[in-house]
Chain A
């Protein structure tokens, strides 16, 4: 059912890969059994009545039974007991699947219209839309929003939680197995809510450490056509929104591009990070992702080539 190595896997809340989501699925299983039993009782009564008590022309009306107090009390008390049991399990599972946050977050995720900013406060790494985590380590995540409400949801790894401007929230994220897990924004947040997807990439600790080290390095100064691209980047208003470490660009309005080329997708999941797709983006981002806050700069073909060349160097 799962294709963890493929870039795009099925995501599902029924295939837990973390202790928290395991607890939730356990409660699911129990609830479904309870629901099925209740449903069977109701449908049983209905189907039995339909088969047994049909009206035929000319028959007199049946005995007029108006109720039975004892029966009513029984079927008030039994649901109450069921509810009590479900409530007790709810409280227990809430504790298991959502422990209180750590004093300092390992990861800060900030929802923007329509992308995710990812900060690792302990190492200082800042990236976007692709969250790398070490396997088997629970990370305390602080969720924040820059503009409107968003919602952070990685069904396999954690409960979902809204990101609220001015009201930081916390969750724990953990992956038991290495792989790429799909995440989405599940709170409607405007035009491109559909394309506010992200990836959680769980790597073995060594590989994660390597990734972290690579991310910390500033962008290498480009040469040739790519250097033209950097000049263009500085000269146009790109720097008002984007940051690239090692260049004067340090704005935090839009995704950090220092290691753009190391990501597999861009535009929050709307396209794979290939030179052709990046080219299309520069030609007119509004064509690729209508409504995105990046305007169409109407670059010439030459300029686009330079920018694409430069972005390819941002490993």
Chain B
């Protein structure tokens, strides 16, 4: 089964030549494989950090009335543990796997935008440093990973921790969006010949679906963080009830991001499981269409269930009922997936590799976590279990028993491809059993603790009957997991240098990444095998019984879109989400007129004239495109210059309006009208400004003659963005200037 490739060009991850220039090779790399590895290493590093934080948490809780860790330190620890594990561990590792394997699985040479890819990666360590810098700046945030208002506001958290936290999440969020745009563009535009959308391996398909969730959910978080920062730094009151704001609004906006986020973390794990189980069962996945479709269903539903995090804040019976139902619906596609995975093993030939062991553990643990999840959708049960250790146990069953186990499966499965060497299976089994035993020791007992009334996020607890030993068991379990992680890290380092050579396809797997050398050459493939089905390598190995051909080279799936336009469209989708939240916030906070400045301060006529300039610029940029199409380069430059001029006039108009307001003493913090007004129009103005800069670059390119020599899609892509900015202004104009006058 192992055919070590005779012509293996590299020894280990780096070729000799690359080793000499490792700094340049790694720091300035735009290669998707290296960025993938960097992503995973960053994730692993923070996994150790977050793990140590978890151990300290468990040590403090091991015995009642413990005084090991001071209350504030403890609160910082669990805040950092949650934030780190979600944003600096799971997301980077998942993006790393996606980065490394999606181009390979679709038969591409690289991601669609390699440089954007590098940006997306480097924003992760930057965000990580920002987050941890808070420790030096007066203390890490101590507000919990979802930082509920108004505890996250200056009066209650006056130190800079929360500001660093918000900035770090903003930075990492921007990185996540850029990477997801890249994944979407790669899947839509970079697929090799024959790799139609309906033939995508499930790992790629699910990551593709997931990327849409990311670009729609992250901007919602960004909007919330921006509003929080405006509150904290500019003394506004979005979420501060004492200033007329709404603490519950923070929860709505945060969970409108936060629940999709749960699936952003879980879906890639589903992708991994859908790849590994079939390979080690020697059977194709059972019900590909249903696994693929249920991922879409989960993705869509994830946006309509966030309020189930809020059954105890007093939303009212009606809202509780509706969200109970939509939340329960998610159980259906998830259940379908679990059954498909389980039945894939039925009638197979199951190989108990470490990767497969982790998949089996995943299935069982994830089912437990899913079922305890349903108990949170059953509202009256949630009224007892919310914010207790039962909840902690539930989401660790998903996050560790589900996601982390899937990541272990992925690493044992794909390490040979990445490094060219096998991980030790013997050590793998040690990792597996230590992990499974430790995990269940830590978290099963926490269900009981939660039902016995132990709330989450307490730094200590009184010596109630049973609480002491249960917490002790949980702490011991945590140390088992720590040992498992150590064994794994040792295995990783040891196998990197001393592991058995892997060969191209050690597992006899069927997707395209196994059709190249391990590690793959810089350009990924020398030649692609023919692709007619979802398992091209199966067809190659079993010419007597190939998989049925999937789909024709039909109109839709064979189309590979133009990547610049695709990328910009995905970006616009994401920005639309951001402005959507700001517009909804404006409507919400201004539903009732409030004392102080209001829409009456605004001059509709003046703004109308400047708006006309902006709308006219949409027309001029369109003419510019037409001119380019007709190869009238002078006209094109003229129209482009006119667009910039009109956009500039609009910005000047906005500047004048702001100046007038400032002069009459109205600032961001005057009241909620002024806050929402400046936030909404200000962010629109920033977008116009960015658009102008990009247009100037395009103009410079045009003046340099770039468009005459070769066909460039730059103008088209930019004009999409420019039209979008104008359309946003249509909404802003309506909501801010016109609607209040109709009342």
Contacts and interface: CB of A to CB of B under 8 A. Distances in A.
Interface string A70-90: 011001100110010011011
Interface string B439-480: 000000000000111011111111111100000000000000
Interface of B: 70-72, 75, 142-144, 148-151, 155-156, 241-242, 246-248, 280-290, 312-314, 317, 320-321, 324-325, 328-329, 331-332, 335-336, 338-340, 342-343, 345-352, 360, 363-364, 367-368, 371-372, 374-375, 377-381, 383-388, 451-453, 455-466, 538, 542, 545, 547-548
Interface of A: 3, 8-14, 21, 23-24, 27-28, 31, 35, 38-39, 42-43, 45-46, 48-50, 53-56, 59, 61-68, 71-72, 75-76, 79-80, 83, 86-87, 89-91, 93-94, 97-98, 113, 147-149, 151, 153, 155, 159-162, 164-167, 169-170, 182, 184-194, 197, 269, 290-291
Contacts of A9: 464
A154 to B, nearest CB: 9
Contacts of A49: 281, 342, 345-348, 350
Given A164-B241, A182-B464, A290-B72, 13 more contacts: A10-B464, A42-B367, A49-B350, A54-B349, A59-B349, A64-B284, A83-B329, A87-B328, A93-B379, A149-B149, A165-B247, A170-B314, A191-B72
Q: Which of A28, A43, A66, A94 has the most CB of B within 10 A?
A: A66
B278 to A, nearest CB: 10
Contacts of B452: 10-13
Contacts, number: 284
A287 B343 CA distance: 59
A12 B451 contact: yes
A53 B329 CA distance: 33
B477 to A, nearest CB: 21
B464 A11 contact: yes
B380 A97 contact: yes
B346 A66 contact: no
Given A62-B283, A149-B247, A184-B455, A160 B343 contact: no
Contacts of A182: 453, 464
A191 B72 CA distance: 5
A56 B30 CA distance: 43
A164 B248 contact: yes
A38 B144 CA distance: 33
Nearest to B351: A55
Contacts of B283: 61-65
A165 to B, nearest CB: 4
Contacts of A68: 286-287
B367 A66 contact: no
11 contacts: A11-B464, A31-B378, A42-B367, A50-B345, A63-B347, A65-B283, A66-B548, A75-B336, A90-B379, A161-B314, A162-B314
Q: Which of A38, A148, A167, A188 has the most CB of B within 10 A?
A: A188
A161 B348 CA distance: 50
Nearest to B535: A64
A194 B460 contact: yes
Q: 5 smallest A-B Cβ distances: which pairs?
A: A166-B241, A159-B383, A194-B458, A169-B314, A11-B453
A204 to B, nearest CB: 25
Contacts of B241: 164-167
B680 to A, nearest CB: 23
A194 to B, nearest CB: 4
